[in-house]
Amino acid sequence: MLHTVNKSPFQKNTFESCIKHAAKGSAVLLIEDGVYAALKDTSVSADVQQAMGDITFYALEPDVNARGLKGKVMDGVNLVDYAGFVDLTVKFDRVQSWL
């Protein structure tokens, strides 16, 4: 499954809930304010790192850039554009949007 998360992990528990319910082999795409979860050296970075064992992380690059986070994203988080977002929804059989 593809999961999207659009909330900052520092604002709501959305990201945490998503991770708890994402199966091995899933992809999590961080969009809108959700991209803050991809920042290096934050209080959630360890959680992201740990989850990377089972889940592939993506971040929507236009949202990363909009927020001035270019170059500050964790290694292992793949940046995609909107075309890449579409491709992910095609690749996975279903999408769960975590709001």
Partner 1 sequence: MSDEEMMEGGVQKKFCYVNRTAPYGTVYALEALEVVLIGAAFEQDVSVIFMDDGVFQLAKGQDTAGIGMKNFSPTYRALEMYDVEKLYVSKESLEARGLSEDDLLVDVEVKTAAEIRDLMEEQDVLLTF
Partner 2 sequence: MKFTIQVNEGPYTHQASDTAYNFATAALAAGHEIYRVFFYHDGVNNATRLTTPPQDDRNVINRWSELAAKHSLDLVVCVAAAQRRGIADADEARRNGKNADNIAPGFRISGLGQLIEGGIQADRLVVFGD
Question: Which residues contact partner 2 by CB under 8 A?
Answer: 4, 6, 31-33, 62, 81-83, 85-87, 89-90, 94-95, 97, 99
Instruction: Give the CA distances from residue 69 to residues 33, 39, 63, in Å, rounded to whole numbers and listed in that order.
Output: 11, 7, 9
Q: Give the x/- contact pattern for partner 1 in 74-93, rule: CB under 8 A.
A: -------------------x
- Considering CB distances under 5 to 8 angstroms, the limit depending on partner class, which of partner 2, partner 1, none binds residue 21? partner 1
- Considering CB distances under 5 to 8 angstroms, the limit depending on partner class, which of partner 2, partner 1, none binds residue 17? partner 1
Q: Which residues bind partner 1 (CB under 8 A)?
A: 1, 13, 17, 20-23, 93-99
